[in-house]
Amino acid sequence: MTLVIEGCAVATVDPAGTEYRDGHVVVRGNRIAAVGPGRAPEVQGGNRIDGRGCLLTPGLVNTHHHLYQWVTRGLAADATLFEWLTTLYPIWAGIDADATRVAATGALASLARTGCTTTTDHHYLFPRDAGDLLGATIEAAAQVGLRFHPTRGSMDLGQSAGGLPPDSVVEALDDILVASQDAVSRWHDPTFDSMLRIGLAPCSPFSVSPELLRESATLARELGVRLHTHAAETLDEHDYCLRTHGCTPAAYLEQLGWVGPDVWYAHGIHLDDDAIATLARTGTGVAHCPTSNARIGCGVARTADLLAAGVPVGLGVDGAASNESSSLIEEPRNALLFARQRGGPSALTVRTALELATIGGARTLGRAAEIGSLEPGKLADLALWRLDGPAHAGIEDPVTALILGAAPPLAALVVNGRIVVRDGEIRTIDEAATGRDVARAQAALVAKAG
Ligand SMILES: [Zn+2]
């Protein structure tokens, strides 16, 4: 099956930053066969998309999310992170496989509509007898059609042991390790073309024990999968680590083996110069989530310093309970705005913002060889943005229109060579039915918590 897109501006985000004012891409099967200027070479048969008025970019990569939160949006809207968590934990304790599948479908559909072709999920909440929650998210991702990097998350430090979550949503260390191993052996696909890779992800320093962090790191390295956790998100967490462990969250994680090219942290806001140097030296990545960070008011990450040091940085929408819009294309814009507000006008360029959302995310997930730029031989994950409507027409530079303009509609979203969105409509699911399912699941979950 061949797909040709032509007549569009193209931002390849390759190492040379190659762009074409008028260019094309040819997709054969699930791979990019050619990218270049002008019309595409004659191809027999196949599908042809007229890209006039559009900008073609690599599909966006979302490096941090909690899909289940799609059915708990709008709660604790004006709270601090710790207040927000303690409001939401009792509601989250009621989730089951059905609510998780419905939530994930809604969240993934919204990601697809905002240019995302690869997303991770940090699912750390496994109430007893709730069913196969990880399986439910995997089913939803297969249905919507996105490339998926879910993590088997965990919490083992309940309130009675000095942690933040209620005891009913934490698990025993041994059970977590068995479930983690099981998830990897059931689902993890390490191949180049993989649509599904599993990682291990204890939730955060204040909801898991040091033993769980250490054992998870050992297990992940035995199994050859990646490690993810929340780190340096708030000053409350910083103070908790100083009080409980006598060091910063970054130093604590380093002591437990949580640095390396196979590790990425969500947020990484409150990092000192030493911590940034450690991340750079070890190749540890950061999922920068500017919208969520601002929604909770927990600080602005040192994005320019992280990049200058050589730390892999991707972008994330984070869970929808702390980012109701979950619009991935708004993240490079907010990353740019916040970086400049913090570091001045040259802190982050428009094109670096696009890199963060694409190749930066791919690097953070360990997939820079396969996705994140438009180059022959890479997987065909593409976003074709419509820029000829009144909101964008006449903006001088198409990349600037995409990053600084309003979120544009998609003419097409292609994942692994398959068209998932066409002319603003998701082809793989019934969006109206998904909306009804989400509203029903949300009402039931809130009612359950009483
Ligand atoms: Zn998060």
Tokens 């068995």 sit at which residue? Answer: 178
- Among residues of the chain, what percentage have pLDDT more than 90? 89
Q: How far apart are CA 185 and CA 116, in angstroms?
A: 27
Q: How far apart are CA 442 and CA 31, in angstroms?
A: 39
Average pLDDT, the chain: 96
pLDDT above 90 (res 230)? yes
User: Residue 111: which pLDDT band, with cuts at 50, 70 and 90?
Assistant: very high
Instruction: Please tell me the distance between residue 208's alpha carbon and the centre of ligand 1 in angstroms.
Output: 14
36 three-class SS: strand
What pLDDT score does 206 carry?
Answer: 86
Q: How far apart are CA 414 and CA 119, in angstroms?
A: 14
Packing angle, helices 235-245 and 81-92, rounded to 10: 90
Taking only the tens place, the pLDDT of each residue in 162-211 is 888 888 889 999 999 999 999 999 999 999 999 999 999 999 988 999 99
Global confidence as pTM: 0.97
How many helices and strands (H and E) does the chain possess? 15, 17
Instruction: Please tell me the distance between residue 29's alpha carbon and the centre of ligand 1 in angstroms.
Output: 34
DSSP 275-340: HHHHHHHHT-EEEE-HHHHHHHT-----HHHHHHHT--EEE----TTS-SS--TTHHHHHHHHHHH
Locate 32 and state its tokens.
Answer: 């990019």
What pLDDT score does 37 carry?
Answer: 98
What pLDDT score does 163 carry?
Answer: 84
Taking only the tens place, the pLDDT of each residue in 84-95 is 888 898 899 999
Taking only the tens place, the pLDDT of each residue in 318-349 is 999 889 999 999 999 999 999 999 999 999 99
Q: Which residues are within 5 Å of ligand 1 (an ion), measured at CB?
A: 266, 318
What pLDDT score does 336 carry?
Answer: 98
In eight-state DSSP terms, residue 159 is G
383 three-class SS: strand
Instruction: Please tell me the distance between residue 318's alpha carbon and the centre of ligand 1 in angstroms.
Output: 5
Instruction: Please tell me the distance between residue 230's alpha carbon and the centre of ligand 1 in angstroms.
Output: 6
User: Residue 450: which pLDDT band, with cuts at 50, 70 and 90?
Assistant: confident
Instruction: Please tell me the distance between residue 346's alpha carbon and the centre of ligand 1 in angstroms.
Output: 28
Instruction: Please tell me the distance between residue 132's alpha carbon and the centre of ligand 1 in angstroms.
Output: 21
Where do the DSSP E strands lie in 155-305?
199-202, 226-231, 263-267, 285-288
pLDDT above 90 (res 433)? yes
Which of 76 and 212 is assigned the larger pLDDT?
212
Stretch 370-385: mean pLDDT, rounded?
A: 98
What pLDDT score does 216 carry?
Answer: 98
User: Residue 61: which pLDDT band, with cuts at 50, 70 and 90?
Assistant: very high
Cα-Cα-Cα-Cα dihedral sign, residues 369, 372, 376, 377? positive
What pLDDT score does 43 carry?
Answer: 80
Stretch 230-250: mean pLDDT, rounded?
A: 93
Instruction: Please tell me the distance between residue 434's alpha carbon and the centre of ligand 1 in angstroms.
Output: 23
Stretch 120-138: mean pLDDT, rounded?
A: 95
What pLDDT score does 81 carry?
Answer: 81
CB atoms within 10 A of CB 441: 23
Instruction: Please tell me the distance between residue 266's alpha carbon and the centre of ligand 1 in angstroms.
Output: 6
Instruction: Please tell me the distance between residue 172's alpha carbon and the centre of ligand 1 in angstroms.
Output: 22
Instruction: Please tell me the distance between residue 7's alpha carbon and the centre of ligand 1 in angstroms.
Output: 39
Instruction: Please tell me the distance between residue 70's alpha carbon and the centre of ligand 1 in angstroms.
Output: 13
Q: How far apart are CA 61 and CA 351, in angstroms?
A: 15
pLDDT above 90 (res 445)? yes
Instruction: Please tell me the distance between residue 264's alpha carbon and the centre of ligand 1 in angstroms.
Output: 12
What pLDDT score does 420 carry?
Answer: 98
pLDDT above 90 (res 42)? no
Instruction: Please tell me the distance between residue 173's alpha carbon and the centre of ligand 1 in angstroms.
Output: 21
Where do the DSSP E strands lie in 12-103?
19-28, 31-37, 47-50, 54-58, 60-62
Instruction: Please tell me the distance between residue 293's alpha carbon and the centre of ligand 1 in angstroms.
Output: 10
What pLDDT score does 287 carry?
Answer: 98
Instruction: Please tell me the distance between residue 320's alpha carbon and the centre of ligand 1 in angstroms.
Output: 9
